[in-house]
Amino acid sequence: MYYVGLDGHKDLAVFCIQTNSGTVKEIFSTSADPKGMDELITKMKGKRYKVLAEASTYTTDLHDYFVMRGVDSYLANPRKLKLITESNSKTDRNDALELANYLRLWDKGELKLSISYIVMGEDRSLRELCRYRMAVSKSKGETMQKIKAHMRRNAEYMDTENLDSRGTMNEIRFRFGDDFILMQLIDDYMLFDTKGNNLDREIEKMCQHREDVKLLTTIPGIGTTTAAEIMSMIVDIGRFGSADRLRAFFGMAPKVRDSSKTVSHGHITRMGDSMMRFVLGLAVNNHCRFCPEGHIARYKRSHKGAMKAGILMVACENKLLDLIYVILKRKTPYEQR
């Protein structure tokens, strides 16, 4: 078995080929494109080998190409590669060498390695669509805050605090049409609102035959877009052996320190996608509003005041993840308990 470390950049890829015993057979550079990857495939023809690179914008497409060509390829979480990220002699050649070392030791069971799960095909398209939808939603919310702040500074008052309806927006245009900045902000807000609606329709179209998304929409307060956003990260519930692993993936599991006879639990790891934790928070609030007698809403009410607001929200988000895990694993719709 040969182990190949790949240090990939925008235009350059550096390979280190290492033998089963750890001897460096060759280090060479090539272009960071399919032609360059073919150079490695040609060199390794007839040999058993694996490839490891750091997960980044410049290595995902190279990894995809290797997988398409039948190569045993992996991408590792760069934050876990401390020998590389904290090295005082960080060069492309040294990085490729360390990656080959990591791969060899991991393959022999002598080292733990955090391998990134790379989404491909329709799942990747859905994830990118959902990420863009979340970005548009964030921009829309920020623009509304700017509108409210601008109107308050300029004493432009409305009879309602709920400004996000099109009828209210038209009334603002009629009453304060001479305020150029306010009109521009409203134009921006309406643009993001239209984009969001278009993206929602596209997400619904893409998910119309997905049973996992349909199952999640049986949870009160979770619509198709939110369900799709959650599934765009989970992709396949089968890759999580337990609800604990799902919580850890979302960065919702507590840090654990085990020293001698003392075991302590700290704050959540926050290792997952921060945007998805934001979505979880919105989903919890919506679920509690639409299902006030559900077990999550009851828990939230009963512990309000006894726990800090942030800690209580994390507990509710974990309960929602437990619920999501059970629904997807059992393939059964939501039942209130």
Written as six digits, the tokens of 219 are: 């949870």
Alpha carbon distance 112, 134 (integer Å): 33
Which residues have a Cβ under 8 Å from the Cβ of 187 and sit 6 or more positions away?
Answer: none
User: Is residue 79's pLDDT more than 80?
Assistant: no
Query: Quick one: average pLDDT of 227-246?
Result: 92
User: Is residue 19's pLDDT more than 70?
Assistant: yes
- List 192's β-bridge partners, or say none: none
User: Is residue 308's pLDDT more than 70?
Assistant: yes
Residue with tokens 């939603």: 137
Written as six digits, the tokens of 32 are: 């960071």
What is the pTM for the complete model shown? 0.77
User: Is residue 144's pLDDT more than 90?
Assistant: yes
**pLDDT at site 190:** 95
**pLDDT at site 166:** 87
Alpha carbon distance 306, 310 (integer Å): 12
User: Is residue 49's pLDDT more than 50?
Assistant: yes
CA distance readout (Å), 260 to 257, 263, 264: 10, 8, 11
**pLDDT at site 87:** 53
CA distance readout (Å), 114 to 7, 41, 76: 17, 25, 6
User: pLDDT digits over 177-203, tens only?
Assistant: 999 999 999 999 999 999 999 999 999
pLDDT band at 82, cuts 50/70/90?
A: low
pLDDT band at 101, cuts 50/70/90?
A: very high
Helices and strands in the chain: count of H runs, count of E runs: 13, 7
Query: Quick one: average pLDDT of 81-104?
Result: 77
Q: Which residue has the higher pLDDT, 67 or 162?
A: 67
User: pLDDT digits over 312-323, tens only?
Assistant: 999 999 999 999
Distance of CA 29 to the CA centre of its chain: 32
Instruction: Identify whether the C-beta of residue 40 lies closer than 8 Å to the C-beta of residue 5.
Output: no
User: Is residue 89's pLDDT more than 50?
Assistant: yes
| End-to-end Cα separation, the chain, in angstroms | 53
pLDDT band at 146, cuts 50/70/90?
A: very high
Interaxial angle between packed helices 274-290 and 224-234, expressed in degrees from 0 to 180 and rounded to the nearest 10: 140
pLDDT band at 334, cuts 50/70/90?
A: very high
User: Is residue 86's pLDDT more than 60?
Assistant: no
Tell me the pairing of strands 72-76 and 49-54: parallel
Beta-carbon count within 10 A of 204 CB: 14
Q: How many residues does the chain have?
A: 337
pLDDT band at 153, cuts 50/70/90?
A: very high
User: pLDDT digits over 245-297, tens only?
Assistant: 898 888 876 654 444 444 444 455 555 667 788 899 999 999 999 999 999 99
Q: Which run of H or of E encompasses 24?
A: strand 24-31
User: pLDDT digits over 203-222, tens only?
Assistant: 999 999 999 999 999 999 99
**pLDDT at site 88:** 53
How much is the mean pLDDT over the chain? 89
- Candidates 3.40.710.10, 3.30.70.380, 3.30.420.40, 3.20.20.370; correct CATH number of 2-107? 3.30.420.40
